[in-house]
A and B are shown apart, each in its own frame.
Chain A
Amino acid sequence: MKMSPEYTKAQANMQPGVITSDGFLGNDERPIVEIIADDEAEMKRASLEFDETVALMRHLLNESRKGLGEPVTVDGKWIVQAFEARGFLASPFEDGIFRKINAKVTLIHEGEPTEHSILYSDLSLHLIEKRHFFQGKGGSFRISPAAIKRVLFAD
């Protein structure tokens, strides 16, 4: 799959040591357009809409900040915790900079936290919203559409 110069540059920026020490691609060696296409197909199979997913993730990120660094229970469904650090991270697509805020969202079942959780940052949200990019497999901030379905849209 051929990549535009913009995506080629973004893939270079995603390597370990450029923007973050461990990069955005984990051990995934696919071109990012392929990663995006595969995840878009998986989102479709899981009947997930990007807008709805991003809106819920942003809501949980905002709620997590209210805990002032400690975990908080949101809507009785999730325990969320914000981790904030000083500074900003640049988008690998060079289309913005984002505060260093991560949220860990853990699904609650029958009042107890489960082992199902997702971790994402303000930058991750931007990449999902604008580029449909969930990061490469094996990366610390990779979220698969399946994990999103399991944690955010559990029945």
Chain B
Amino acid sequence: METSGAIIQAFIAPLVIGGISAVLGALISITDKIVNNYGDLVIDINSGKRELEIKGGAALLLTLAENGIFIPSACGGRGSCGACKVKVVSDIGPHLPTETPFLAKEEMADNIRLSCQVKVKENFQIEIPDSLFNVKQYEGTIERIVNLTHDIKEVYVKLPEGEEIDFVCGQYGQFEAPPYNKIKTPTQRAYSMSSAPSDKNHLEFLIRLVPGGIVTTYVHERLTEGQKINVVGPFGDFNVKDTGATMIGVAGGSGMAPFKSIFNHMTDTGEIQTREIWYFFGARTKDDLFYLDWLNELDAKYEKFHFVAALSEPQPEDDWEGETGLITEVLARYLAERVDRTQPVEGYLCGSPGMLDACMAVMRQFDMREDKIYFDKFA
């Protein structure tokens, strides 16, 4: 008897617990639908320039994206990149603890919010740069993948038939990796376009493998030619100023991308013949250099274009006769001895936050004005 009682208990107990869990789950779901139902709301963008009729309850970033307005985000709305800043004109309460680490005092005073953290629970009035109205999502096709070095790939994406993109050299796109392994949702990361703006049916990116990186690992281990991929863009305000000032460009690794776009565009327009340009590119060994033939050809062909490659740790087999040292050391030598600083000079940088900080320190040391040094600090 005791045995059969224990067996009944063993069967009944899980059923009872399961039943209670199901009821609780249903209650939570119903409560969620009632409590988080904010009904039909309106988001007013840039004082009536666009009005979105939306269902409330979701994060502003997601709500806008669902309605074709793409705010830059490098972490997919997880609140870890601080890129998705939007000015909220309406009073929606104090900043959240998840926002404050990413906002300067002036930004907080100006009602700048992280759109991934702010939920739309009432009618909203927001302000965004007009350029974001031009941002679109494209389902492109991978036309070509080229290994530039052991850890950098050139990825050439064809846009859907009949679609074109207008962008300015230096802007970036968000490249989306689909879910794989334990990654359950699509993941986007920002990469500068390396293609020229005249190639309106394609986008090209240089993507360096970041160990542990979700999108770069996908690109390096799984992405294949012919595959469909989502790209959102163009974003960013890093671009070459139309001043004619001497241009000092500094990059390393995949930071080459915007410069490839810029120099090809300048070749198309003829600006490469009229503007003084110094381009410094740093790598560790010769194996980490790429596009050397093209850049040396520009250097030889155009009197005002100067290409300086530097290796920080050249190997004996490299047989390297060029500049050596960290790119900041080489930059400092050239600013001291070679670059004509009696003329207006502008700095253009692309690289990691650490590289940008180090280059800016050198440029400041040589009296280059900070407001004349341009970069996109998204790494």
Binding site for B on A (CB under 8 A): 16-17, 19-23, 26-27, 65-73, 82-90, 97, 100, 102, 104, 119, 140-141
Is the beta-carbon distance between B184 and A17 smaller than 8 angstroms? yes
A residues within 8 A CB of B93? none
Given contacts A21-B185, A71-B284, A86-B379, 10 further A-B contacts (CB under 8 A): A20-B80, A21-B76, A68-B326, A72-B284, A72-B313, A86-B83, A87-B82, A87-B83, A90-B98, A140-B212
Q: How far is the CA of A17 from the CA of B78 in the complex (A)?
A: 8
Which of B81, B82, B184, B253 meets A69, CB within 8 Å?
A: B253
9 contacts between A and B (CB under 8 A): A20-B80, A27-B182, A69-B355, A70-B282, A73-B313, A86-B81, A97-B101, A102-B210, A104-B211
Interface string of B69-99 (1 = CB under 8 A from A): 0000011101111110000000000000010
Q: How far is the CA of A43 from the CA of B78 in the complex (A)?
A: 33
Is the beta-carbon distance between B182 and A23 smaller than 8 angstroms? yes
Residue B353 at the A interface, CB < 8 A? yes
Which B-chain residue is minimally distant from A65 (CB atoms)? Answer: B354
Which of B78, B82, B313, B355 meets A68, CB within 8 Å?
A: B355
Is the beta-carbon distance between B252 and A70 smaller than 8 angstroms? yes
Is the beta-carbon distance between A82 and B354 smaller than 8 angstroms? yes
Is the beta-carbon distance between A68 and B358 smaller than 8 angstroms? yes
B residues within 8 A CB of A22? 181-183, 214
A residues within 8 A CB of B210? 83, 85, 102
Residue B233 at the A interface, CB < 8 A? no
Is the beta-carbon distance between A67 and B182 smaller than 8 angstroms? no
Is the beta-carbon distance between B80 and A100 smaller than 8 angstroms? yes
Min CB distance A151 to B, Å, is 14
Interface string of B176-217 (1 = CB under 8 A from A): 000001111101000000000000000000000011111000
Q: How far is the CA of A20 from the CA of B189 in the complex (A)?
A: 13
Q: How far is the CA of A108 from the CA of B298 in the complex (A)?
A: 38
Dominant SS among interface residues on chain B: loop
Is the beta-carbon distance between A90 and B80 smaller than 8 angstroms? yes
A residues within 8 A CB of B377? 86
B residues within 8 A CB of A90? 79-80, 98
Residue B312 at the A interface, CB < 8 A? yes
Residue B255 at the A interface, CB < 8 A? yes
Which B334-379 residues have a C-beta within 8 angstroms of A? Answer: 351-355, 358, 377-379
Min CB distance B117 to A, Å, is 12
Which of B80, B183, B283, B284 meets A16, CB within 8 Å?
A: B183
Which of A85, A88, A89 meets B102, CB within 8 Å?
A: A88
Is the beta-carbon distance between B101 and A70 smaller than 8 angstroms? no
A residues within 8 A CB of B282? 68, 70
Min CB distance A2 to B, Å, is 20
Interface string of B278-312 (1 = CB under 8 A from A): 00001110001000000000000000000000001
Which B314-339 residues have a C-beta within 8 angstroms of A? Answer: 326-328
Is the beta-carbon distance between B213 and A68 smaller than 8 angstroms? no
Is the beta-carbon distance between A69 and B378 smaller than 8 angstroms? no
Is the beta-carbon distance between A85 and B74 smaller than 8 angstroms? yes
Is the beta-carbon distance between B354 and A69 smaller than 8 angstroms? yes
A residues within 8 A CB of B183? 16, 21-22
**A67 with B284: in contact, given A21-B183, A82-B354, A87-B102 (CB under 8 Å)?**
yes
Is the beta-carbon distance between A72 and B80 smaller than 8 angstroms? no
Is the beta-carbon distance between A102 and B255 smaller than 8 angstroms? no
Q: How far is the CA of A64 from the CA of B81 in the complex (A)?
A: 22
**Considering residues A21, A67, A68, A87, which has the most beta carbons from chain B within 10 angstroms of its beta carbon?**
A68
Is the beta-carbon distance between A69 and B101 smaller than 8 angstroms? no
Which B-chain residue is minimally distant from A27 (CB atoms)? Answer: B182
**Considering residues B78, B102, B288, which has the most beta carbons from chain A within 10 angstroms of its beta carbon?**
B78
B residues within 8 A CB of A21? 76, 78, 183-185, 187, 214
Q: How far is the CA of A69 from the CA of B312 in the complex (A)?
A: 11
**A84 with B353: in contact, given A70-B312, A73-B313, A119-B211 (CB under 8 Å)?**
yes
Q: How far is the CA of A137 from the CA of B78 in the complex (A)?
A: 24
**Considering residues A26, A65, A67, A87, which has the most beta carbons from chain B within 10 angstroms of its beta carbon?**
A87
Is the beta-carbon distance between A70 and B76 smaller than 8 angstroms? no
Is the beta-carbon distance between B101 and A68 smaller than 8 angstroms? no
B residues within 8 A CB of A20? 78, 80
Which B-chain residue is minimally distant from A94 (CB atoms)? Answer: B97
Q: How far is the CA of A119 from the CA of B377 in the complex (A)?
A: 23
Q: How far is the CA of A84 from the CA of B328 in the complex (A)?
A: 18
B residues within 8 A CB of A26? 182
Min CB distance A98 to B, Å, is 10
A residues within 8 A CB of B185? 17, 21
A residues within 8 A CB of B98? 90
Q: How far is the CA of A83 from the CA of B75 in the complex (A)?
A: 15
Q: How far is the CA of A23 from the CA of B101 in the complex (A)?
A: 21
